[in-house]
Amino acid sequence: MIRILATVIAALLLAGGAAAQGYPNRPLQILVGYGPGGGTDIMARVLAGPLGKALGPSVVVRNIPGAGGQIAATALLNEGGDGHAILAINHPDLLMTVDSGNAPYKAADFQVIMVDVKDPRVLPMLSGEVTANLGDDFGRYNLRDRVTALFLAAQDKSPRWPEAQTLTAALEPFGVKPPSPNFLARYGIYVVPASFKLNDPAKYEKLQKALLQARQDPQFQEYLAKNELEDLSIGRRGEDFEAAFAADMAELRQMNR
């Protein structure tokens, strides 16, 4: 009985490996949930070339903006079940469309396959005024010469806002601890349908490895260095962030009640 079971398991593993060998068999698409020219779109286009080299077929970037990412997320579920479409979007944007109650899908329909970068929220206050602006660390750097940052929603301090203490440190005197060290950060993520991982785990693993490999390509690393994004770069499996993302979403739901 044990030999029969071992034989069956070995056969299944070999079958999965053989199926992954033939994947992908046509060009891949990266569906960007926002319009052209934004940070998510640019990062996807920088990644597309190296990803094509890692997998074989070319990778096409397709912008599908609208409804806070809902249109692109719906397109992913319609087109990405076989792993030939990937969604480039932000967390918590994707899950917040679910919480809004209007999305035609559930959070469980998606699997974050890779976390690419993070852009922590920073709270800069205009000098001599009471006006504050909550925005992204990198995206609000155009205000650098006119503002002082009060806190940064990140585990580590920012080289762009060295005067800003972390949110954890800012809340400590009040006995409050964020649900995760990078609470309120915006993450660039790549997403596939959860059904793809469930039904084709070998193909899923091949795609995930290719995405991580593509980030190590000199072309991609050169872009990070040129734009001084190394401290915001992550490049890790989506599974590594599931607990932190879930904790953050739970806290955001409490705050929005």
196-223 tens-digit pLDDT: 999 999 999 999 999 999 999 999 999 9
CATH number of the domain at 25-118+186-255, out of 3.40.30.10, 3.30.70.360, 3.40.50.2000, 3.40.190.150?
Answer: 3.40.190.150
The one-letter amino acid code at 220 reads: F
The one-letter amino acid code at 245 reads: F
Estimate to the nearest angstrom the gap between the alpha carbon of 130 and the chain centroid: 33
Q: 97, 67 in Cβ contact below 8 A?
A: yes
SS3 107: helix
pLDDT digits (tens, 9 = 90+) for 46-92: 999 999 999 999 999 999 999 999 999 999 999 999 999 999 999 99
Q: 85, 31 in Cβ contact below 8 A?
A: yes
Structure tokens at 34: 């926002």
pTM: 0.88
**pLDDT value of residue 35:** 95
Q: Where are the domains of the chain?
A: 25-118+186-255, 122-174
**pLDDT value of residue 100:** 81
Task: Determine the Cα–Cα distance for residues 201 and 191; give it in Å rounded to an integer.
Answer: 15
Task: Determine the Cα–Cα distance for residues 39 and 60; give it in Å rounded to an integer.
Answer: 17
Give the residue from 35, 85, 19 showing the smallest Cα distance to 57.
Answer: 85
pLDDT digits (tens, 9 = 90+) for 143-179: 888 888 999 999 999 999 999 999 999 999 999 999 9
SS3 203: helix
Assess whether pLDDT exceeds 90 at residue 5: no
